[in-house]
Structure 1
Amino acid sequence: MSDKKQKRFIFRSIVLAILLGAVVFALVSNIMNDEEVVAVGEQAPPFELEQVNGNGVLNLSENLEGKGVMVNFWATYCDPCKEEMPFMQSLYPEYKEKGVEIVAVSLDATKLRIKNWIDNNHLTFPIVHDKSGAVMDTYGVFDLPASFFINPDGTVERQVKGPLTLDRLEGYLDEIVPESEK
């Protein structure tokens, strides 16, 4: 084999290996994205995060025990997240009275960006900051928005990937109203 043919063969082999590696990476990433870390029917993992629009720390298992809880993962750079926030705000007062809490977990880099968004949109439900992404990882969230609807006993009733419409959100909140409030 000539020197020129040998160089072409090596070049093609390297390109083929890179392409094969990219395909394997894409397949593995896809499989991992579809894998539920927190499955319906399981206990929701507890977390404790600093509130951006409240005082102190919000502890999922201590502060919200006995309530239905919607945990929504979002960020200000996520357009679908920003579209569903007004729906959450419009339903919040009614469902808070029924024993359901909405907790929005922001994945933004800075609190200032989150505070500005809260102020500009007059949000009153608790918003916490997952600056390290640890809670996002615990819940297996890869894409935003993602929501978990948690029963008063702490089990996950429903997991929703992607944005919610007002009707769907209201129906899912109805599913987690404590029995004593129905």
Structure 2
Amino acid sequence: MSEKKKRRHLLRTIILTILTAAVVYTLYANFTKDKHEKIAVGDQAPDFVLMDMEGNKHKLSDYKGKGVFLNFWATWCKPCEREMPYMDNQYQAFQKQGVEILAVNVGQPEFSIKKFVEKYDLTFPILKDSNKDVMGVYDIYNLPATILINPEGKIVEIIEGELPEEKIIAMMESIKP
């Protein structure tokens, strides 16, 4: 066999080996990945730990015994922008009654978040989901999205889209301890 044919044969063997390894890896990854169930009303809310704008850690399970209004948002989202002042109004009214708001910003730089918070003078905790990990766990694809969690840590309601203030009031009433 000539030198040229040997090189061609070697190159084809290498390419075939790489393609076979890629197919085997893809099949392995698909068959062994965790079967992530979509969250639903009645499920225990998946726990998470995120940092707020001041560097404090917030662990969802630490809020057991309180109602949690978990909101996913971004600064570029116009419906988010419109509902945030309503959320802050109701946070002022319901915080003393055992209802917390955790507003999870998804994947934005701290500078943008800070400007937004200052513009609307928001007082509830703003958490940073820089890698969108929590967003993924909660199967959030559209913003804004709100998950109501009762004092026992169970999901009561899942809402996508903008919320008027009257709806926010009713939602907070529904998760009061």
Task: Report the counterpart of residue 61 of structure 1 in structure 2.
Answer: 61
Task: Report the counterpart of residue 39 of structure 2 in structure 1.
Answer: 38
Contact 1:45/1:139, CA 8 A, preserved across alignment: yes
Contact 1:76/1:108, CA 8 A, preserved across alignment: no
Summarize the alignment of residues 146-161 of structure 1 with structure 2, pairs less than 5 Å apart: 146-161=145-160
Query: Distance between the aligned counterparts of 2:140 and 2:133, measured in 1?
Result: 10
**Deviations 1:62-84, CA, capped at 9 Å, x for gaps:** 2x121000000000000001010
Query: Distance between the aligned counterparts of 1:102 and 1:80, measured in 2?
Result: 17
Ranges of 4+ aligned residues in structure 1 off by more than 2 Å? none
Task: Report the counterpart of residue 50 of structure 1 in structure 2.
Answer: 51
Query: What is the letter of the counterpart of residue 173 of structure 1?
Result: M
Contact 2:74/2:108, CA 8 A, preserved across alignment: no
Summarize the alignment of residues 59-138 of structure 1 with structure 2, pairs less than 5 Å apart: 59-62=59-62, 64-138=63-137
Over alpha carbons, which structure has the higher Rg?
A: 2
Secondary structure at 1:102's aligned position in 2? Answer: strand
**Deviations 1:23-50, CA, capped at 9 Å, x for gaps:** xxxxxxxxxxxxx821001000011001
Deviation, 1:56, is: 1.4
Contact 1:92/1:125, CA 8 A, preserved across alignment: yes
TM-score, normalization: structure 2?
A: 0.77
Contact 2:50/2:57, CA 8 A, preserved across alignment: yes
Contact 1:107/1:133, CA 8 A, preserved across alignment: yes
Contact 2:106/2:128, CA 8 A, preserved across alignment: yes
Query: Distance between the aligned counterparts of 1:101 and 1:55, measured in 2?
Result: 18
Query: Distance between the aligned counterparts of 1:120 and 1:167, measured in 2?
Result: 23
What is the count of residue pairs matched by the alignment?
A: 141
Query: What is the letter of the counterpart of residue 67 of structure 1?
Result: K
**Deviations 1:133-176, CA, capped at 9 Å, x for gaps:** 00000000000000000000000011101110111111011000
Query: What is the letter of the counterpart of residue 151 of structure 1?
Result: N
Q: Structure 1: 5+ residue runs without aligned partners?
A: 1-35
Query: Distance between the aligned counterparts of 2:167 and 2:66, measured in 1?
Result: 20
Across the aligned residues of Structure 1 and Structure 2, the Cα RMSD in angstroms comes to: 1.1
Query: Distance between the aligned counterparts of 1:132 and 1:39, measured in 2?
Result: 23
TM-score, normalization: structure 1?
A: 0.75
